[in-house]
Amino acid sequence: MARYLGQSWTKRELRRYLSDPAQLAGITPALLTDGKAEGVRTLNVRTGSGLEFTVLPGRAMDVPQCWYNGVALHFASATGITHPGYYEEPGLRWLRTFFGGLLATCGITYSGAPSVDQGESFGLHGRIGNAGAENVAVSEEWEGDEYLLSVRGRMREASVMGENLTLTRSITTRLGAKSFRLEDVIENRGFEPQPLMMLYHFNFGFPLLSEDATVVAPITATEPRDPQAAADNGVEECLGFLPPTAGYKEKVFFHTLAADGSGRTFVALVNRNPGGKPLGIVLRYRKSQLPQLTEWKMMGEGCYVVGLEPGTVNPIGRAAARERGMLPMIEPQQRYPVEVDFEVLDSDEELQQIEAEAKELR
């Protein structure tokens, strides 16, 4: 049954009050028409629980914005949403079109630091996040007594005489939900093995992120990316946060997580007092699909964000991953599924439960 206004409803019970379910929940398409965002398609999703988020078919079906009861959960960068025509690949220029967002997808065949691998140069975090989706589909349908909302699209990463991969993404939720499920299928449509360097760059900002916030996960080991991350008790303090700090330099950590008996694990960000009410988010996924977790911590003034980033490999760059024997591959004609569940936590009880779950798994 559908959950709405704190109670359960059958389809018939709700329909008696409604001419159109869009009065409560739905998906609204739009086209951005201003500045560097001009021409980018959007799908604005409302579940009726207070959860609202935007999906960008024009940018890899990523999620730039997400609110819960009017409170922002995402980090919005200084670039704003940009059209993929502004994408600059070399070096760190990916940052010029990095809107931050709740989710910015990195991959498919490379993510992480710029590198030169087997004579080919790769910029930061790959091309797929600037790929437009094709075969975009939107669905708003009753299934029994549940009103289901879904969007779907397919992106390509391909080159003549080179790789031929696709990423097909579905995002589903329902009336009354404070969650959504992301389901990806990465397919190698070519006839040569290709690197599989997927990074799910989830980014959280103020007010969910503050000096009162904490990362909660079944962490069994943590490795700093470099001496900068290790300095000033970085590893010991990586799960907590400072107020905005002048001159702060980013710190990156690689976490090893435990999983439950079914192979599932999670990472959460919780804050007991953003405006006097408890608030948190949790990402749940299968460790076999996304075995690595990266934390990107940036506590700067005007750039205040934490990235919690499950991935197929640590984002150290393709050349370094190959040299260390860590480079995952996708075989010809292989399909690689990934599922990530995103959920909002909005009570002390839910925050306590997620902390207890992390402790138990550790």
Q: What are the extents of the domains in the chain?
A: 2-361
Question: What is the reported pLDDT for 217?
Answer: 98
Identity at 159, one-letter amino acid code: S
Residue 356 three-state SS: helix
The torsion region of residue 5 among left (phi > 0), alpha (psi -120 to 50) and beta comes to left
Residues 222 and 312: their CA atoms lie apart, in Å, by: 17
Instruction: Say how far apart CA 351 and CA 58 lie, in whole Å.
Output: 35
User: What is d(CA 252, CA 223) in angstroms, rounded to the nearest whole number?
Assistant: 9
At 276 the pLDDT is: 81
> Quick one: average pLDDT of 285-298?
98
Distance CA(319)–CA(116), nearest Å, equals 6
Under the banding of pLDDT at 50, 70 and 90, the label for residue 96 is very high
**pLDDT surpassing 90 at residue 233:** no
Band of the pLDDT at 274, cuts 50, 70, 90?
A: confident
Question: Does position 107 have pLDDT exceeding 90, yes or no?
Answer: yes
pLDDT at 335: 98
Question: Is 232's pLDDT higher than 90?
Answer: no
CATH class of 2-361: mainly beta
Instruction: Find all residues with CB under 8 Å of 183, minimum gap 6, and list them.
Output: 169, 170, 171, 172, 337, 338, 339
Which residues, including other chains, have CB under 8 Å from residue 175's CB and lie 6 or more apart? 2, 3, 4, 21, 24, 25, 47, 48, 146, 147, 148, 149
Helix (H, G, I), strand (E, B) or coil at 129: helix
Determine the pLDDT at residue 234.
84
- pLDDT at residue 128 in the model: 97
Provide the pLDDT confidence category of residue 268 given band limits of 50, 70 and 90. Answer: very high
Query: 52 pLDDT band (50/70/90 cuts)?
Result: very high
Contact 295, 95 (CB under 8 A): no
Confidence grade of residue 56 (pLDDT, cut at 50, 70, 90): very high
Distance CA 208, CA 279 (A): 7
CA distance 220 to 129: 31
Half-sphere exposure of 45 (CA within 13 A, CB side): 33
pLDDT in tens, 334-352: 999 999 999 999 999 999 9
Place of tokens 């075995």: 291
The pLDDT assigned to 149 comes to 98
Q: How far is CA 258 from CA 101, 312, 327, in A?
A: 27, 16, 21
pLDDT digits (tens, 9 = 90+) for 159-183: 999 999 999 999 999 999 999 999 9
Across the chain, mean pLDDT equals 96
Q: What does the pLDDT average to over 298-312? A: 98
Three-state SS at 38: coil
pLDDT exceeds 80 at position 275: no
Does residue 234 or residue 190 have the better pLDDT?
190
Q: Quote the Cα angle for 305-307-308, to 5°.
A: 145
Residue 299 has pLDDT above 80, yes or no: yes
Whether 57 shows a pLDDT value over 80: the answer reads yes
* Region of residue 8 (phi > 0: left; psi between -120 and 50: alpha; otherwise: beta): beta
What pLDDT, on a 0 to 100 scale, did the predictor assign at position 308?
A: 98
Distances (CA, A) of 95 to 7, 17, 124: 44, 48, 8
Can you give the pLDDT at residue 243? 97
H-state helical runs in the chain? 11-15, 227-230, 318-323, 348-361
Buried b (16+ CB within 10 A) or exposed e, 158-193: eeeeebbbbbbbbbbbbbbbbbbbbbbebbbebeee
Give the pLDDT confidence of 141-163 residue by residue, as tens digits: 999 999 999 999 999 999 999 99
Mean pLDDT in residue range 64-88: 96
**Sign of torsion over alpha carbons 207, 345, 339, 170:** negative
The pLDDT score that the predictor gives to residue 170 is: 98
Q: Check residue 163 and report its DSSP letter.
A: -
Give the alpha-carbon dihedral of 233, 235, 237, 238, to 10 degrees.
140
- Give the largest CA-CA distance in the chain: 65
